[in-house]
Amino acid sequence: MTTTQQKELQKLYGDFGGLSDEELERTIADSERIMRGPAGWLLTQAGLDESTTKPFALLDNACGTGPIVAHLQDNIDKNVLSESKMVCADFNANLVDILKIRAAKYGWKNVETAVLDAQNSGFPEQTFSYVTINFALHIIPKPEDVLKDTMRILKPGGVFAFTTWHQDTKGWSTDMRSCFEALPFEAPMPDPVPMAINGKPQWTNPEGVEKELRSHGFENIQVKAMPHVVYIHDAEDYLKSYRMMKDWMVNTYWSEESKKKAKDMLDDHIVKHLKEKHNNQGWDLDWTVILATCQKPSS
């Protein structure tokens, strides 16, 4: 992953300001569809589920639109939540604003928000009993700094839990590649699409993740790969859900000549191609999730 490729995607991730109510609901729904299931699996592996009876202090770093905390609010006993503390933080202020709206709309209990960098959170030492990160350590430029900061802000025995995409994940890329290959002009796309957007592939395979955690002093490490299926209702649904990925590919890999040829026709081409490919029906996208949990030593 080159610096240009990473910057193009980061630019797209940052473009969440000024959404209409409909666009806001769509953004949240798309995030939930892709990330909510893995968030639940991760929290269960971390020991935060329906059986939780003790209050906790949790930092959800790189929180996005909030699938981690949404799952907690829906599944943890309300009395436990009322005595717990949850901080949702992200580098992207627009995403934090979306989460604030969501928290107010659904009356989430004891949820605070912050705009901060997971590589250097600024929280005091031993502040949290849990730190979570859902699909970001393969994107954040220096994940090793995240591990150092997490070790610092966790209480002794505290749990660090996170997800990343496995290096073999296909997800949205197979259909996008098919659409590009059907164009009558050059429309390049990397094969495979790099899951390690920060250029550090160890964060997209279980062995590499475990080695990183062990080298930074974490213990009781559990790393597993899980299949994850996301259903696409139709071609229009695919385009709306993965427009950002389309723009990433076009902006990063296409020539100016190809961009000009695609202007005002690419979206229609994608919808038409996918309707033909999938017989105007819905279909499944296959992803592979890495779930990782570990602990800060108790002493």
- CB atoms < 10 A from the CB of 202, how many? 16
Q: What is the dihedral of CA 66, 67, 69, 74, to 10 degrees?
A: 130
Distance CA 212, CA 248 (A): 28
Distance CA 79, CA 162 (A): 26
The pLDDT score that the predictor gives to residue 29 is: 86
Residue bearing tokens 């107010």: 104
The pLDDT score that the predictor gives to residue 1 is: 45
- Tens of pLDDT, residues 115-156: 999 999 999 999 999 999 999 999 999 999 999 999 999 999
The pLDDT score that the predictor gives to residue 31 is: 85
CA-only gyration radius of the chain, Å: 20
Instruction: For the chain, list the domains and their CATH numbers.
Output: 3-169+194-232+287-295 (3.40.50.150)
Residues of the chain with confidence (pLDDT) below 50: 1-2, 16
179 neighbors 274 (Cβ within 8 angstroms): yes
| Confidence (pTM) | 0.92
The pLDDT score that the predictor gives to residue 26 is: 79
The token duo for 22 is 């409909």
Q: Which residues of 37-55 are buried (b: 16+ CB within 10 A; e: fewer)?
A: bbbbbbbbbbebeeebeee
In degrees rounded to 5, what are phi and psi of residue 161? Answer: -135, 135
The pLDDT score that the predictor gives to residue 23 is: 74
Q: Which residues contact 198 (CB under 8 A, 6 or more apart)?
A: 1, 6, 138, 139, 140, 141, 142, 143
CA 148 to chain centre: 21
